[in-house]
């Protein structure tokens, strides 16, 4: 098992990319489980060690939609909780080619940790139940009713989505969501259902005011299309890291958007904190940005 596979395994258990990297690094550095070391080698032994290490930290990392009903007042004040340990996305370079869809990870987080570990080892790692019992004791995998999204990203739809946000065209944004779409944005506990309410939320609470205030950098997270959103600060006229959006699509529309406001995720995704080289308004010229990190 390579480093990315071990990180992905730990991430499925923990729902945190940061903690997954820490545990995978710690486990592979041990003489008995590290690369080339000990009888257990880098196969099952390192997975066993990582699984047990994860269980010492595993809790339940939710999304806002796991905690309460959707808000019916998009124009109202947004509730926020920085005390909750929220589910995090995982960047493409740390994925292992196996199921890691955000909806699947959220479903795993609803299962008690030891059952969650058994489910991951059985359904994703392919372990037989007797081997799982040897490691975890008398615990059984939990059948998952949520399966990874199989929708192939529609590049034209994503291009329209990006253009609508960058032009701050809220009516155009609304048309890209299904009538029952979900929008959530940890650490805010408030979340919203329906294209109309999503539009009302963006109109009321998004700090953008004009075309060019936002710039979206395409990327992938959890095997899903995503965007790093940068917001222009009028005080210095520079676009600053704002949020990372992860989208779930049908063949023709967006059904779920999670906007993560944890700015430390930009470092996890190897993204700069600021965008340099943009013209004052990207829609005033044809220059594309030169992206670099500014300290």
- Treating both helix axes as pointing N-terminal to C-terminal, what angle do 113-123 and 102-109 enclose, rounded to 10 degrees? 140
Query: Which strand (E) or helix (H) includes residue 11?
Result: helix 3-14
Q: Which pLDDT does position 168 carry in this prediction?
A: 95
More confident residue, 56 or 143: 56
Pairing of strands 274-275, 188-193: unpaired
- Is residue 152 pLDDT above 90, yes or no? no
- pLDDT, tens digit (0-9, with 9 covering 90-100), for 260-280: 999 999 999 999 999 877 655
Q: Which pLDDT does position 223 carry in this prediction?
A: 93
Q: What fold does the segment set 155-275 form as a domain?
A: Nuclear Transport Factor 2; Chain: A, (3.10.450)
pTM: predicted TM-score of the whole model, two decimal places: 0.88
As given in the structure block, the two tokens for residue 83 are: 């005390």
Q: How crowded is residue 2: how many other Cβ atoms within 10 Å of its Cβ?
A: 11
Query: Which strand (E) or helix (H) includes residue 201?
Result: helix 195-205
Nearest residue to 24 (alpha-carbon basis) of 43, 38, 3, 40: 3
- Residue spans per domain, the chain: 3-136, 155-275
Residue 280: phi and psi, rounded to 5, are: -50, -35
For the ranges 13-27, 37-51, 181-195, 271-285, the lowest mean pLDDT is seen at: 37-51
Q: Which pLDDT does position 3 carry in this prediction?
A: 87
Q: Which pLDDT does position 227 carry in this prediction?
A: 97
Residues 36 and 45: their CA atoms lie apart, in Å, by 12
Residues 64 and 191: their CA atoms lie apart, in Å, by 6
For the ranges 55-69, 100-114, 195-209, 272-286, the lowest mean pLDDT is seen at: 272-286
């Amino acid at each position: 098992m390579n480093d990315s596979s071990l990180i992905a395994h730990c991430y499925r258990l923990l729902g945190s990319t940061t903690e997954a990297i820490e545990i995978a690094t710690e486990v592979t550095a041990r003489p008995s489980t590290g690369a080339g070391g000990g009888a257990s080698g880098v196969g099952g032994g390192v997975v066993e060690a990582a699984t047990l290490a994860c269980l010492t930290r595993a809790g339940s990392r939710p999304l806002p939609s796991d905690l309460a009903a959707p808000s019916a007042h998009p124009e109202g004040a947004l509730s926020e909780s920085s005390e909750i340990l929220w589910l995090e996305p995982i960047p493409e370079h740390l994925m292992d080619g196996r199921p890691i869809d955000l909806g699947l990870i959220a479903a795993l987080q609803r299962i008690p940790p030891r059952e969650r570990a058994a489910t991951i080892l059985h359904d994703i790692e392919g372990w037989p139940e007797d081997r799982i019992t040897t490691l975890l004791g008398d615990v059984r995998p939990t059948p998952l009713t949520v399966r990874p999204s199989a929708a192939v990203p529609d590049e034209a739809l994503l291009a329209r989505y990006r253009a609508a946000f960058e032009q701050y065209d809220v009516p155009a944004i609304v048309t890209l969501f299904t009538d029952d779409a979900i929008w959530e944005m940890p650490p805010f506990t408030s979340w919203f259902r329906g294209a109309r309410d999503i539009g009302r939320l963006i109109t009321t609470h998004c700090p953008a005011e004009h075309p060019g205030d936002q710039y979206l950098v395409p990327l992938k997270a959890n095997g899903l299309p995503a965007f790093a959103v940068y917001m222009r600060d009028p005080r210095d006229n520079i676009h600053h890291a704002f949020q990372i959006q992860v989208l779930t699509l049908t063949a023709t529309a967006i059904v779920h958007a999670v906007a993560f406001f944890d700015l430390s995720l930009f470092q996890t995704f190897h993204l700069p904190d600021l965008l340099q080289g943009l013209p004052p308004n990207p829609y005033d010229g044809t220059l594309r940005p030169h992206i670099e990190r500014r300290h």
